Amino acid sequence: MSDEMMNTKEVAGYLGIHEKQVYALIKTGRLPSTRITGKWIFPKKVIDGWIEANAKSGLEQARQKSGRIPGALLASGSNDPVLDILQTCLRKAHPEFFIFSANTGSREGLIALEKGFTDIAWSHLLDPETGEYNIPYLDRLVPNIKAVVVNLFYRELGFVIARGNPRGIREFADLAREGIRIVNRQAGSGTRLLLDHHLEKAAISVERIAGYSDEVFTHIEVGLAVLSGGVDTGIATAAVSSLLGLDFVPITKERFDMICDQSVFFQKGVRALMEILNGDLFRKRVEMLGSYDFRSAGRILHVKS
């Protein structure tokens, strides 16, 4: 089976479900597929599009349901292990507040914010021209939102690799070497934008990168792909390499922000989240991860008029 086409077993593994569930989805017409010589065939790009469309649909449904839950807020956008810890600490200290978060990627998180599908966007979109994060994208992606940009933390992003770096991966040019295979993040994610920027800067065509079209939606999935030996590297946080016992080659320290409408920023749930962000409970929980910088945590960086 080629990299671009999958059978039912491969789709089941790709979606993380049982093969019988794949057949059930086909039967109800909920999963795009083609039958050739009696066998079901699934173009990978079509499946990726289906995953993205269902994520957006899920946000819309969650938006409708969360409105009926007192104290509930929706968040979408980028992904980081620290966000899970932050939300757990919030629930422990303030059980009256809920934050439901979807891993859609930074760009899609901002688009969801503009459309009213989410209250909060997690984002780390780098603008290559200015070197600034997130703020240059506001006029284009959230033109009708009076956005507040609040820093949560700075984190290290880099190549996650097997222990001992057996393939000698140290820079972007190494990704184009024969025999090197990567796992990529989805289009629209801040990590994907960073990769594309550096490949363009080094004049490396994406066609030369084996695995460029193999996409996952979270940093931990990148790490697990490397840990399993299926790929040689991918870009993820230093925290993921630490959690999984992998080696790490740093690329950059990036800014990770929370973006929301001014009206949402002053809601009690968000104020409680900011309190937790700078509290001892949360800081002690994340101390073991290292590689995070909270020097500007909770600071308002920009207010869009």
Domain ranges of the chain: 124-305
Which of 33-37, 114-118, 161-165, 226-230 has the weakest average pLDDT?
33-37
By C-alpha distance, which of 44, 153, 162, 116 is closest to 264? 116
d(CA 289, CA 84): 13
Q: Is 103 exposed, middle or buried (0-12, 13-18, 19+ CB in 10 A)?
A: buried
Residue 59 has pLDDT above 70, yes or no: no
Write the pLDDT tens digit of every residue in 107-153: 999 999 998 989 999 999 999 999 999 999 999 999 999 999 999 99
The model's confidence at residue 11, banded by pLDDT at 50, 70 and 90, is confident
Percent of the chain with pLDDT over 90: 69
Type and span of the H or E element at 76: strand 72-77
Q: Please report which confidence band the pLDDT of residue 5 belongs to, taking 50, 70 and 90 as the band edges.
A: confident
Residue 64 has pLDDT above 70, yes or no: no
Supply 214's token pair: 């193999």
Tens digits of residue pLDDT in 189-214 = 999 999 999 999 999 999 999 999 99
Pick 148 or 31 by higher pLDDT. Answer: 148
Helix (H, G, I), strand (E, B) or coil at 91: helix
> Are 201 and 61 in contact, with CB atoms under 8 Å apart?
no
Lookup result for tokens 């600490």:
89
Given a cut of 80, is residue 58 above it in pLDDT?
no
- Residues 130, 116, 152, 55, CA torsion sign: negative
Residue 127: strand, helix, or coil = coil
pLDDT attached to residue 66: 46
The token duo for 62 is 């969650």
Tell whether the torsion through CA atoms of 76, 224, 182 and 173 is positive or negative. Answer: positive
When mean pLDDT is compared across 54-68, 211-225, 233-247, 275-289, the lowest value belongs to: 54-68
Do residues 7 and 39 lie in contact, with contact meaning Cβ atoms separated by under 8 Å? yes
Nearest C-alpha neighbor of 248 from the set 262, 267, 276, 227: 227
Helix pair angle (268-277, 280-287), 10° resolution: 50
How far is the C-alpha of 130 from the C-alpha of 286, rounded, in Å? 31
| Listed residue (202, 244, 200, 207) closest to 222, CA to CA | 244
For residue 146, what pLDDT is reported? 94
Residues in the chain: 305
Kindly report the number of other CB atoms within 10 A of residue 295's CB atom: 8
Alpha-carbon distance of 156 to 242, in angstroms, equals: 12
Which CATH architecture fits 124-305? 3-Layer(aba) Sandwich (3.40)
Q: Is the pLDDT assigned to residue 54 strictly greater than 60?
A: no
Provide the pLDDT for residue 262. Answer: 94
Cβ atoms of residues 225 and 181 within 8 Å: no
Inter-CA distances, 304 with 16, 52, 119, Å: 40, 29, 16
33 pLDDT more than 90: no
* Segment 149-162 mean pLDDT: 97
Position 16 pLDDT exceeds 90: no
